[in-house]
Structure 1
Amino acid sequence: MTDSDTVDTYQSVAEEYRHQNRDRSVVEHLVERFLTALEDVTDERPARVANVGCGPGWESATFAAAGHDVVAVDLTPAFLRLAWEEAPDADVARMDMWTLGLANDRFDGLWVCASFIHVPREDAPETLAEFHRVLRGGGVLLFSVQVGTGERVGGPYDGDTRRFTLYRPDELRELIETVGFEVQSLAVDDERWVRLVARA
């Protein structure tokens, strides 16, 4: 379950966050990889994609522009408003990734980029099981978390009380595989982020 202090921080800095992180070239290679993986799943039909922890909706807009049916999910109301503006062709829904209000076996792909880091470690297995539940067989999970051990609190914003859960690559692989995913690739970018692609 996402910590309420984290949601409160994002709610108060949503516009600033959008401005500071608007350059999406840092994830462009991941977006291309995800879109390519979706083609293998869908046989050229539009994919059903959930952007879990969508933030201001940048990637939701990209996936919708590529012709896919997109649901942008976040727990922060200010982000959902921005996502609605950024990605008007996507559905927008407020929910916690720990208990997704989405149907079983419904989605071809889940994009979970830099959002799972806010899930407390004790809730990680159940949250990952939710991801597996909503993905159809063979569906694609693209996943990124920060490298490290333990947790940290805070960041660059005034009054920043966000909580971050950090993972070692081997720890993340074991968690993902335990709930039934098959890890296809796992890499560490810039010694800061673990990037993982898996299939349900």
Structure 2
Amino acid sequence: MTHPDTIATYQSVADEYRERHGDRSQIRELAEQFVDALEPVTRGDSAESPRVADVGCGPGWESATFADRGHEVVGVDLTPAFLRTATDRAPDAAFVRMDMRALGLAADAFDGLWACASFLHVPREDAPATLREFRRVLRPGGAMLLSVARGDGEKVGDSYDDDRRRFTLYRADRLRELADDAGFSVESVSDGDWVQLLARA
């Protein structure tokens, strides 16, 4: 998330957001797909745990899932209330308040980058550079999973009282094009209500 109104809204509705979206059953299959995609990156004689960046980690639901799998997880978000909850939920993960457009993370440091319902908060004009930043922190062959709302243009949220969150919507072909242009090799794109893209650095 990037726009101040988006951050302010999430901060003000953090408890309600956790209650509404705490059932992760619809995300579980996507998370499993991502974990499976990490295997070719981490296979070999290395004893290191896979390193995963959860970008736009929110309250840390998937950070906890990945940490429970033995992965080394760094969660990134801009909403303080989410980061506090994430730290409690996934004590074995590290959490940092950071803008995804300028990740203060080392280059070639991660085996996977998970950005579920977060990249859609990046303004459209910043999307290409943000994807290049995602690629920068991934090791060669590292997996990236993006999940964004399907559609055209931009919209302002309407799910909460005084909802001022900003959303950038994508069609599958445009998201694929952006990933290609950022130097990723796209492995799959699904095109339902949400566009889900799996690619490798």
TM-score by length of structure 2 reads 0.97
Two-structure CA RMSD over aligned residues (Å): 1.0
Structure 2: which 5+ runs fail to align?
none
Partner residue, 2:66: 63
SS of equivalent to 2:179: helix
Partner-residue secondary structure (3-state), 1:50: strand
Counterpart residue number, 2:200: 199
Q: 1:3-152 maps to which residues of 2 (within 5 A)?
A: 3-43=3-43, 45-152=48-155
Deviation at 1:46, TM superposition (A): 1.4
- 1:11-68, Cα deviation, whole Å (9 max, x unpaired): 0011110111000001111111111111111017410000000000000000000000
- Distance across 1 between alignment mates of 2:36 and 2:128: 27
Partner Cα separation in structure 2 for residue 192 and residue 2 of structure 1? 23
Are residue 168 (structure 1) and residue 177 (structure 2) matched?
A: no
Number of aligned pairs? 198
Further displaced range: 48-57 or 34-43: 34-43
CA distance in 2, matches of 1:197, 1:121: 20
After the TM superposition, which parts of structure 1 deviate over 4 Å for at least 4 consecutive aligned residues?
A: none
Q: How far apart, CA to CA, are the structure 2 residues paired with 1:73 and 1:179?
A: 21
Shift of 1:156: 1.2
One-letter code of the match for 2:133?
A: E
SS in 1 for 2:13: helix
Q: Hey, what's the Cα distance between the residues in 2 that align with 1:110 and 1:37?
A: 11
The alpha-carbon deviation at position 194 of structure 1 amounts to: 0.3
**What secondary structure is seen at the aligned counterpart in 1 of 2:132?**
helix
User: Tell me, which stretches of 5 or more residues in structure 1 are unaligned?
Assistant: none
Q: What do the CA deviations read for 1:126-154 (whole angstroms, capped 9, x no partner)?
A: 10010000000000001111111100002
1: CA distance, partners of 2:55 / 2:183: 19
Find the residue that maps to 1:136 and give its secondary structure: strand
Secondary structure of the residue that 1:92 maps to in structure 2?
Answer: strand
Q: SS in structure 2 opposite 1:49?
A: strand
1:176 is displaced (CA, Å) by 0.5
Counterpart-to-counterpart distance in 2, 1:104 and 1:195: 24
* Identity fraction in percent: 64
C-alpha distance in 1 between matches for 2:158 and 2:7: 14
Aligned counterparts of 2:158 and 2:200: Cα–Cα separation in 1: 32
Structure-2 separation of matches of 1:155 and 1:119: 18
CA–CA separation in structure 2 for the residues paired with 1:93 and 1:126 = 20
CA shift digits 1:97-150 (9 cap, x unpaired): 000000000000000001001000000011001000000000000111111110
